Structure 1
Amino acid sequence: MERLLYASFIVIVLTEMVSSQAVVRWCVTKEAEEKKCNDMLQAIMTIQVNPVSAQNVIPEFRAAAGLNKNMIPQLNCIRGVDVTDCMQMIENDKADLITLEAGQGYFAGRYHSMMPIMAEIYNQLNLSDVEHYAVAVRKKIKPMININNLQGARVCDPGIGTGAGWVYPVAFLLQNQLITVYECNAVVKTVTEFFGPMCLPGALTSFYNPFGNNPTRVCDLCIGSGVEQCTSSDPNAGEDGAFRCLSSDSGDIAFLRHNTVQLQALVEGVDPGDFELICPTGGSAAITDYQQCNFGKVPNNIVMTSSMKNAATIASYKSFLKQLVEWFAAGKPYTNTFSIFSSTSYSYLKRSNLLFSDATKMLIDVRDRDTYYSWTGNEFRMKLDVLNYCPLAVARFCVISDAEQAKCEMMVEAFKGNDLKPDLDCLRGTNIRHCMSLIQEGDADMMVLDAGDLYVAGKYYGLVPIAAEDYGDMTGSFKVVAAALKANLNMTLFNLKNRRACHAGIGRGDGWIIPLNVYIETQQFLPQQCSIFENIGQLFSRSCIPGALEKEYNRNGKPINLCEGCAAGGYRKCQRNSDEPYYGPKGAFRCLVEKAGDVAFVRHLTVRDNTDGRNQAIWARNRRSDDYEIMCKDGRRTAIDNWERCFVGTVPSNAIVTAGFKTQAERDIYWNLFSNAQQFFSSDIDGDFHLFDSGLFYSDLIFNDDAVRLMKIEEDMQDYKKYLGYDFINQIIYLEDYTCTTTSSATVASLSFVLSSLFLIVNYMV
């Protein structure tokens, strides 16, 4: 009777589970692995109902089935391109389980929301031993290769991100300065340029090669074809593949686990005595002396699943895995039907370590170490920090308003979340020129400047541009247009007297230099020495020119109607920063939209980007583009999209600047920080942080909202004169006699110091 009950239970478990929850989908990445997985499935389904099978149904398996038979899964084998593809499928609930090396497990947990549930054990006599050693191996016939002369060596590696193959040995080489880092956030490129040809599977995936500029020799020793080439599915990938790469003399050195040589030498038919360890302390050692000659202990491989699974599902997976071990591990009843921890049956496919490591003796529950973070441990994470080493510890970014400070702090967290180096820090300046002074004095490193400000920064503070905004056409510039309401039919650029003007800001290319040259060219007034502010005050009944009354630009602070059209209240009114809603090109257009002005000098994309539902801010969301026109220098008016034939000036793009005394290596590090960052944050659609978006309440914070990416300014163009160009600089010089602004370096620096001191005193008193 008891035998009949057990037989009925087995039949139910193995044949009646039809619910989707009842199937565990195991993700495999190789043909041989898929075959082994399907063989295991067949073995499960063909176990004969007999007393032995009944006795080997573990209590957890039986108990879980009694609670909910649909939570005890069957097996289904799902083929992925490589382990990264499998991680993505598990995250998207298209697969459930995969066995991963600890380094891969860290990646899976951090970037694909996966968690460990069971761990491989390689020493059945010590179930608490859940680590193995990372070692470097060479052939004995190559004694000239040691830890101190690896440059140019051909390297066989199990895969990028693996603990024994990548994290531990590379961290050692970097930490001991055997490999020198010149470029931050580019460890693969750094390592590949140090070594000779390599097989580093996974090094060309988008995560490890975001710019597509890793040297091609990173895959020279890989032998896969098609989509498998240089991935975790490559024949030279994994522990077995890396050893094969070494034993066949393709490589000079292999980074492996300590037990790989002993296991794989038998598979490859070679003598393990032909190999020896390269010790981190110098010299060599026998393969068996790994405890004294290693890079450290790496956590064992783990079976992982999605962390979104509920507790009952995870418990069922664990029970299922334990049952598989109870049936198919060495010495268990059905090993002759299927051997779960052996790949010898698939040697004709030249693959080992299929589904599990061949060295595995059993699986244990990870218990309270059920996160990728806790499984890998502190030492592993310290090694990862070494991989992110950057010659510069911090890059200090200067901002000029509360809103910019808030966005900068979000930028700090976003960069940190993606391990971008150097660490970003935000410094608050009192105004643009104070920030210039901080960079000049070495107290800050970078800021973003409009072309007009860049002229001042270059001429009087010695700052240089290193990266330019691109607005979609890769020209490194933009056009300035004069926008007006279509209903205001009689207004042209030649009859602006007593109208109201909206400018992006004093001193700016788009909001000052181009408009003033237009006024003079169209003879709206004939300026005299130092008369420009009075001229504009007389031309327009009122204006909003943010910053127009500030002493750095207008030493007399008059006339007040230059700021009467601005929207902010109190001390924020007419500030030359985002505290003034009408600051910047988008702010100038808002000034026009809200009927605070009749003409707005904006960028060629500003009207289109803030009408027809493209901007969901309250002031813009219901605006129609066909309500506006642009005015041409020949007196005509035309539709806003005809800006190529109707613009009033060309201005170089906004640019990131740094101090001229910075070395080219330092400038490149700053550029690479933002070049890497824009791979993650340039889109205004995905994610919580966007480089080129300022939200609904502000505009053009740090970067211009119209920008789509940053472009590197080549070394020979990192000079304000070369960057701005002869024509634009001439327009600035032409206005200097009329503005009479004191802009000598000493005066500005002194003023910035006073303002900074006052700012600190006020904050201290508050």
Structure 2
Amino acid sequence: MNNVLSVDGPHVTCVKRTSYLECIKAIVANKADAVTIDGGLVFEAGLAPYNLKPVVAEFYGSKDDPQTHHYVVAVVKKGSDFQLNQLQDKKSCHTGLGWSAGWNIPIGILLPSDSVEKAAAEFFAGSCVPCADQTAFPKLCQLCAGKGTDKCACNSHEPYFGYSGAFKCLQDGVGDVSFVRHMTVFENLADKADRDEYELLCRDNTRGSVDKYERCHLARVPSHTVVARSMGGKEDLIWELLNLAQENFGKDKSAEFQLFGSPHGKDLLFTDAALGFLRVPPKMDAKLYLGYEYFSAIQHLISDLGAEDPQRVIWCAVGQHEKAKCDEWSALSGGILKCTAKETTEGCIAAVAKGEADAMSLDGGFIYTAGKCGLVPVLAENYLSQDGKEQLGSKCVNTPVEGYYVVAVVKKSDADLTWNSLRGKKSCHTAVGTSAGWNIPMGFIYNQTGSCKFDEFFSQNCAPGSDPASSLCALCNGSSTPAHTCAPNSHEAYYGSSGALRQVASVHHLSLWHQPGELLALSPFSSSHHLGAAFRRSQN
């Protein structure tokens, strides 16, 4: 690859190691910068002492609808007469020890979590599990085809290593079942007639054709990922290199060099099935990338963790004041509620997505972000009904969510101030990203100006969550320490609807019921929004 990259662009140097684990260690030792690994190894690479993080993900599917996941499938020859629940004493073919498709998912489904390698050796009549310790568990390497020290090797020196290798183990008649990903059969068998000689084992103990993987699979797992150091990991340079490489040598780009394919073998450097790369968001660690369910499944597979208490909810509070209120609630809950805290809304979203918390309340402006992170709304706050009577939660009725109006509030004495004369004035906002304080008013301003340089529209602002050094934080007051100035939590005195109203602000209309003084709403925005309360992880 280095030979075909532009001399003006980033350069790559190749470092050889005998296994993915050795490559991970080389990155930690600063002797390498990146390696592409399977999701199961992303878990291990993210743990101490390695502490690597995903920086770039392969995508599959299509460029119009990129998918950063694949399906784990159990492939068998058509005509064999067993189902998934009848695999005991059969011969098995695996991609590699610790891989998502070849090990973590099938073993997690088929076997208890105590002494996994020992249990697998006793469960199957024989196996090929590259990377396994053949001295300690000889049956796990019994079917492997490598010669001498290459038998059961954790690289392509073992002919049955990896996705294509595990499928070849089945093709050769060595194994009865092969645990691979759904693309493997298609990558190795171009002819449909040849593919029709194989079937998939389904979780419901039926079978399906190899093209029915969306219905008949063991699990859906994240795609292969490029990992790097968490600190000093050269993320920008790695992305620049890979983005340049995919633009010049991606699918159908060049006959000189193919990034996703090689005459030297299958799935070298990157998987052949990949269509390209997507950059992983900078704040996403291994736990967030893998997702709560898969991360927890691997965790339980490798450790003897007790089950979570299904009767207890961990609530994530934003900032110290929310945490103090949550603690009071917890004390009255009889042990049903436990509280944890993060400094930002995004921090709580990440905590729920990782399984460190179960629920949180969110402003409507963050609902989209939360949804992208796998959270779903389960409850919504109700305010005053149209007849002015409060809707009490104790009624437990399924009433429509009426939401609230977003309003721009000024002092009544500023009679000449209108929506059309706001440029150059001082503004107060609940927080960046919230509906009332940011998304709606700034959306209206953008519609007028066509510019997102909001710090230039107003002379000064207090918009908690902005860069403290910018004019967007010039009016913020903080609290006891300068570090809290413009913080997107209750450390900032002007945070939230009530805080913004202390300065006169863009808030939701219900704040006016709780504040004294002579105020005038400039003009209610023609939009109604609600606070999504009690978000939790999706179970899908």
Contact 1:133/1:298 (<8 A) preserved: yes
Q: Which residue of 2 aligns with 1:158?
A: 95
Q: Which residue of 2 aligns with 1:189?
A: 118
Q: Which residue of 1 aligns with 2:274?
A: 360
**Structure 1 CA distance, aligned partners of 2:39 and 2:283?**
13
Q: 1:128 to 1:271 in 2, by over 3 A?
A: closer
Deviations 1:355-410 (A, max 9, x none): 1111111101011463111111111122224424759989xxxxxxxxxxxxxxxx
Q: 1:131 to 1:393 in 2, by over 3 A?
A: closer
The partner residue of 2:301 within 387, 392, 396 is 387
Q: Which residue of 2 aligns with 1:250?
A: 174
1:303 is the counterpart of 2:226: yes
Partner amino acid for 1:301? H
Deviations 1:311-332 (A, max 9, x none): xx22111111100001101233
Partner amino acid for 2:43? Y
Q: Which residue of 2 aligns with 1:371?
A: 285
Superposition deviation, residue 44 in structure 1 = 2.2
Deviations 1:467-492 (A, max 9, x none): xxxxxxxxxxxxxxxxxxxxxxxxxx
Deviations 1:71-126 (A, max 9, x none): x6311111111111111111111111111111111111214221111100112244
2:119 is paired with a residue whose SS is helix
The partner residue of 1:131 within 65, 69, 80 is 69
The partner residue of 1:290 within 204, 213, 216 is 213
Q: 1:284 to 1:369 in 2, by over 3 A?
A: farther
Q: Which residue of 2 aligns with 1:81?
A: 18
With structure 1 as the length reference, what TM-score do the two structures score? 0.38
Q: 1:226 to 1:378 in 2, by over 3 A?
A: same
Q: Which residue of 2 aligns with 1:263?
A: 187
Q: Which residue of 2 aligns with 1:241?
A: 165
Q: Which residue of 2 aligns with 1:203?
A: 132
Alignment of 1:97-496 (within 5 A): 97-111=34-48, 112-127=50-65, 129-142=67-80, 144-174=81-111, 184=114, 186-204=115-133, 213=136, 215-233=137-155, 234-266=158-190, 271-310=194-233, 313-332=234-253, 335-343=254-262, 345-346=263-264, 351-368=265-282, 370-388=284-302
Contact 2:39/2:221 (<8 A) preserved: yes
Contact 1:342/1:353 (<8 A) preserved: yes
1:79 is paired with a residue whose SS is coil
Contact 1:113/1:308 (<8 A) preserved: no
**Structure 2 CA distance, aligned partners of 1:359 and 1:145?**
29
Partner amino acid for 1:148? N
**Structure 2 CA distance, aligned partners of 1:386 and 1:393?**
9
1:43 is the counterpart of 2:4: yes
**Structure 2 CA distance, aligned partners of 1:373 and 1:364?**
18
**Structure 1 CA distance, aligned partners of 2:38 and 2:193?**
25
Identical residues among aligned pairs (%): 30
Q: List alignment gaps of at least 5 residues for structure 2.
A: 309-540
**Structure 2 CA distance, aligned partners of 1:355 and 1:115?**
18
**Structure 1 CA distance, aligned partners of 2:128 and 2:17?**
21
Q: 1:353 to 1:369 in 2, by over 3 A?
A: farther
**Structure 2 CA distance, aligned partners of 1:317 and 1:391?**
36
Deviations 1:206-229 (A, max 9, x none): xxxxxx63x311101112234433
Partner amino acid for 2:4? A
Contact 1:121/1:127 (<8 A) preserved: no
**Structure 1 CA distance, aligned partners of 2:145 and 2:306?**
38
Q: 1:354 to 1:391 in 2, by over 3 A?
A: closer
Partner amino acid for 1:387? L
Contact 2:43/2:295 (<8 A) preserved: no
**Structure 2 CA distance, aligned partners of 1:135 and 1:237?**
17
C-alpha RMSD over aligned residues: 2.5
- Alignment size in residue pairs: 305
**Structure 2 CA distance, aligned partners of 1:131 and 1:229?**
30
2:244 is paired with a residue whose SS is helix
Q: 1:392 to 1:265 in 2, by over 3 A?
A: same
Q: 1:388 to 1:89 in 2, by over 3 A?
A: closer
Partner amino acid for 1:119? A
Partner amino acid for 1:355? L
Alignment of 1:747-766 (within 5 A): none
Partner amino acid for 1:203? A
**Structure 2 CA distance, aligned partners of 1:232 and 1:363?**
25
Contact 2:63/2:275 (<8 A) preserved: no
Q: 1:367 to 1:125 in 2, by over 3 A?
A: same
Superposition deviation, residue 244 in structure 1 = 0.8
Partner amino acid for 1:107? E
1:271 is paired with a residue whose SS is helix
Partner amino acid for 1:365? R
Alignment of 1:612-623 (within 5 A): none
Runs of 4+ in 1 over 4 A off after TM superposition: 388-394
With structure 2 as the length reference, what TM-score do the two structures score? 0.53
Bigger fraction of residues in helix: 1
Deviations 1:213-267 (A, max 9, x none): 3x31110111223443313212211101101111111100011101111111249
1:276 is paired with a residue whose SS is strand
Task: Determine which structure has more spread, i.e. the larger CA radius of gyration.
Answer: 1
Q: 1:392 to 1:44 in 2, by over 3 A?
A: closer
**Structure 2 CA distance, aligned partners of 1:109 and 1:124?**
29
Superposition deviation, residue 128 in structure 1 = 5.0
Q: 1:78 to 1:363 in 2, by over 3 A?
A: same
